[in-house]
Structure 1
Amino acid sequence: MTTDGLSRGFLIGAAIGSGSNAVAAEQGGADFLLAINAGRLRNMGVPSISSMLPVRNVDALTLGFARDELLPLCKIPVLLGVNVWGVDFDPVRQAAEIARSGFAGAVNFPSCMHYSRPMQQILSRAGRGIEQEVAQLKAVQDAGMMSMFYCASRTQARLAADAGIALICLNIGWNAGGILGHRTRSSIEEVATEAREIGRLVKRINPKTRFLLEGGPIATPEDLSRVLRLAPLDGYVGGSTIDRLPLESSVASLIDGFRQASVRPNRLDAENRTLFAWSEQYGFVGTSDALLLCLRRLRALGAARDPVLIVSEPGQNTAPAMRALANPAGLKKGSANLVRIDVAEQDLPARARNVLFGHRDTTSSRPPLLADPSVDMIVIHAPERLTNALQRRLARAMRDGIFRVAGSRRSLEIKPRIIFQSDLIVDEDRLHEDLTHAGLEPELVSLLAGWTLRLPPLRERVGDLPLLIAKFLDDQKGPEFSPLAMLNLRAHKWPGNEAELHMVLGALVGRAPTSTVSPEELAPLLRSEKPDSRKREGRSEKDLIVDTLWRNGFNRSKTAEALGISRKTLYNKIRKYELSG
């Protein structure tokens, strides 16, 4: 069968590794199938890149599953993956064997295009390079069958076009995304630029050749649509995007659905139901075990009058805990007068000292904060930043219940309750050591021993994520997450806690609601590591040129004008960054 039997419209090819997926692809409207070892290995649970390693007899592996599973089940053309690395390379004999086996044609896979340039040169000198792959496909085509040539560069595409190969597919690398996927090295914009230039070259040499695209960052139909806006293509070949990613997503979705179907409403006892109802009025969200333990302790601490240290990590919302300590009987019974002193924002610790303990020159007009009967609770944020002397003075005043105004012999009774709040990452098993190491005086830490409450960070209560997401979005129509994306949210360490979750949701609000949020869309928002500044600086000019070309419809005159450079300079930079293919 030749390509004349294919649709004249946009072609869809599927690189498949099993009979069940082949049947699904045919029912979905695929125009042809590729039987390659990468597909079979994907179905065995290993990454596609393993197809380039000497792990199996590639000919036996590919021919075996293609002959037993694809040919008997499918009516659409099946192209067999062939290579030129055998001991006896005979293109004509190989083409005859492909025809006798019942295949519609062949594709060059595994191919030396996936190797480095030095390795490609070694294979070419040995008579087993890209030139022989073109010769093999030409022999298949001359025998009256179809052939599709995978290429990775302008030079390789030119070889195939000169030989008259009917289908040329630009392979832009292993597919990104999913559990086994690779990290993308090219943006959609860079892919469109390369496909546009190489496609033009192919059409100039042989207008009848059909030019297709596969791989790289194209993981969804939306990604392909973005490329097609500026790079005309005759078709698309899906490997992992058809054979692996949908399976991962659908299986994960089904398992999650079965699990949710089996979950019974939590049989909370009366005490726990009362506790959660009590916590909701202060703004707590969640029902996880970690939060439950925290709430029990918080309610007990709220009923007392002793000083308390609240330890939270950066990004945690401490307001609900403060409201609960200030109004343990409930907000409906009136709101307490709470004063907050943020030492982290104070220019001098002396200001905090004078506000708390007063001075003999000011006590006649207003009482020190520690003795003010109108204040119910004082929250001191970042006490570890106070001077050691002031921390010790606070510890002794709280221990005795009285203090002396600076410059005076008069002693005053402490009236408000004192709450300390520190943004620190601590280990509960080493709480005393971690607090003193952070700057808290041992005397103050000892006084607060037993009265210290560590709020559970988000990574310890990921079961509350659905409730937190619903609470943050409130009545807004927020994004829906795919099961795999939710798994990634639960696996994330959340170094920024609730603030980071709020940032992630904010970045996703307003997205087109055409599909659920995928792991690939989520990944850039969850990267906690610092970007490599050297790499970013090295790519900045290239990125700027690609983005400006994209915005100006690849009109180089308009692009040069937008960049404020001459056309000649723009051409030089396009060649420098290899943007012309």
Structure 2
Amino acid sequence: MIEKKRILVVDDDQSFRLLIGKHLKKEGYEVSFAENGINALQILKEESFDVIISDQQMPEMDGIELLSKANNLYPDTPFIMLTAFGDIKKAVSAVKLGAYDYLEKPYRIEDLLTTINRALEHKRLNAENKKLKSQLQNIYSFQNLVTKSPVMIKTLKMAEKVAKNSETTVLILGESGTGKEMLAKAIHYASEGMANNFVAVNCAAIPSSLLESELFGHVKGAFTGAYRDREGKIALAKGGTLLLDEIGDMPLETQAKLLRVLEERVYEKLGSDMQLKTDCRIIASTHRDLAKLVVDGKFREDLYHRLNVFPLYIPSLRERKEDIPLLIEHFLKIYNEKNGRSLQGFHPRALDALMRYSWPGNIRELENVVERAVILTRDDYVPFSELPEPIRGAVGDPLSQEIRNGIRPGMTIREMEKELIIKTLEDNDGNRTRSARVLGITRRTLQHKLKEYEIDQQLSENDS
């Protein structure tokens, strides 16, 4: 059953209250009444409503004062002000003070119903937006950045401190795939500006001819194809955070304009000489050595110093290998839930390979490996044989090395085959279907070999 929306009608005219109540109840609303502002405030202290409709001119406490007090109690409840004909100044004043909208008396009931519907939709969207912001704040919280690496822990502590100062420019340094954007989002959602937008621009992915328009926006006719005015990313990040990803790839001419934004907090759209102000925090990130780019004449020295106010370094995954098991567990939880799976983890031999791998793609590459494993692996644990070929090729098969170490001069082909079957079974936790697949034979053939070499008996003796 759909819950009725509750509306509080406040007016000192009883006949008006009865008339409006009749129309609203006919539309399916639950209606309560108050004869003046003081009475309405008493009701609001006891109950909440979806919409408040109030006359502006009332004795003792007028609509403007009631609006102020109602907003303190229920800041998310739309307030619709009813004003006398020609009293536009007070109506505009009410909107500035937080009223959702106003209607002039006399008004058509259709207009009132339309305004109520818009107010309810506005309230619903606001609630959804707050819920989404809260979810994002939780997803990108510092607590969700998995690590036990001393270097990374130090970086996160510094990031938490700078998050509290929304005006400080931050420079995040680290290889591709280390999580620079994730850290930038954690800073944003822990700051005072988290209620506003987080806007990211990849400076390396946008052609230099379009990057300025993307950042600063443009006016109609600024260049061929500019058929209308367009806001840039700086404007979209108003009051929030602008992430300039891979800033080391930004063209020199754009760097000069960005420097002005950082120094004076003003910019101009392409094709316009009107100065616009910005209050967004700027976070820049790069995998490149900016100091070397400065020496090579590819990056402005003055911009480098403006950006390098609060540098944060994210170590590569090969520098924090103690985090690999933690990250695997973290990604397993995510992708098991996403795919309806219950993969437990990686076989010790496979985990050993992951620990020895150099991870050129860093955390992004490890996440991809885990996601792939969740989708492909049918057993509880991922064997070495099901790791991506680049990893197997780079680190070598520990089982193959073990088998080579077990082969001795004078061994027969039968003895070597038996040794291979035993080691493969051990590597796959005794799973015969998977072992047969690794050996390139059918399960039935493997069963015959186990019986022929009395391996079943030998394995059980080893277990006892």
What TM-score bracket applies, with the shorter chain setting the length?
0.3 to 0.5
* TM-score, with length taken from structure 2: 0.45
* TM-score, with length taken from structure 1: 0.37
Higher relative contact order (CA 8 A, sep 6+): 1
